A = this chain, B = another copy of it.
């Protein structure tokens, strides 16, 4: 069994990757469990640091190739692929950093007589075998976010990439091995969904990390073996509140990036923008005009700003959703149609009904919806009405509005004067409600993949 990797732009085959079968996975899981149980064979922290530093150095040398590979398998425009490669490297650096932060604390014991005379402190230990399943949209950096923390934390890890984009994953795993990580500590495990599910739900799996669709993520949680821990990172339909009177040009520039970056295939992509009703028309027109100027095309071209969707079926789906929204009363401002089997034009829709798919579900395509509001509290209520909550944003120069939105918008992060897709790799990054489980971001993932063990010493009395 194997999977054929296609260039999402022209659907040309790029590479073949053999799929791993269950007996192999089964063996790897046992091996991982043994590695974890044999404390004498653990890699010392300074060994892990050395490996990760070498890996980052290798990546720095190959950054250009890694970027091109992201373009080739993932269809992300070159300029953005370069940024991704740079972030992936810095994410490896962040793992080294997070190791230095320790994580242990003294727990005072003498607050009551019951604990008096004892000393207690905590320290971190690897949680055990990690199984990770990743998504296609950032084929290198997502992998790094799931695999490098496991290596840093001292956990053996099996990683299943998205089958559309396994090459960046394969490269990163190879680089780790090249940097000195014994192969058994990190296994490249592309496989079919049934086998993936078996791997995930196996009782030997101590921690399961998933980036992908909410539906599959929560289904997998319900099938986990007792004792298996889990982190989920899904998407949402990220809302943006625009206050009245803000300088429109800057806001639009930010939203263009936040909504059309990687053609909207980002889990915190700007999807729903709420604008004062009085400014709605002008705002939407300006946004539409700007969107029309975006360069859509071959991601390998350095000028391209929006590349293909990952699969033709996705183009079909986005087209259907947009059509539905227009038919139900939304106004198309720009875009709205497929440019090819893999390209969809950047699209702005004004006031699609709240019940339409584009208002309810994650689009994961180049579509921004703009809604007018008279009462900001109603806009916030609508922004919060979905079962998803991840990152949200407000554009304003008023303290009152900024704080009101920070407090009131549902989400784990509220940006003031930045779009919803803003992210640095060391910050917490957490889907709430159905948008995810646990907290991502390098140091947080490392904490998740560790246990905080406590030693409590009841000291014997010294007699000289």
Contact = CB atoms under 8 A, between A and B. Distances in A.
B123 A111 contact: no
Given A433-B227, A452-B428, A454-B413, A464 B218 contact: no
A106 to B, nearest CB: 3
A407 B111 contact: no
A31 B101 CA distance: 36
Interface in A79-112: 90, 94, 97, 99-112
Copies of this chain: 4
A224 B222 contact: yes
Given A400-B461, A454-B428, A434 B111 contact: no
Contacts of A317: none
Given A403-B119, A426-B100, A458-B417, A412 B451 contact: yes
Contacts of A115: 424
Interface residues of A, number: 93
Interface stretch (A22-30, A39-47, A66-74): A39-47
B100 A459 contact: no
A437 B227 CA distance: 7
Contacts of A110: 44-46
B413 A459 contact: no
Contact of A106 (B104, B113, B439): B104
Given A100-B111, A399-B399, A399-B459, 14 more contacts: A46-B116, A101-B101, A102-B105, A106-B121, A107-B426, A107-B428, A111-B426, A121-B121, A218-B226, A399-B417, A413-B456, A414-B456, A416-B455, A418-B458
26 contacts: A46-B110, A46-B112, A100-B108, A102-B107, A102-B108, A105-B106, A109-B427, A111-B424, A115-B424, A218-B226, A218-B227, A221-B226, A376-B462, A398-B462, A400-B460, A400-B463, A403-B457, A403-B462, A412-B453, A415-B458, A416-B458, A417-B459, A418-B458, A427-B454, A428-B454, A430-B452
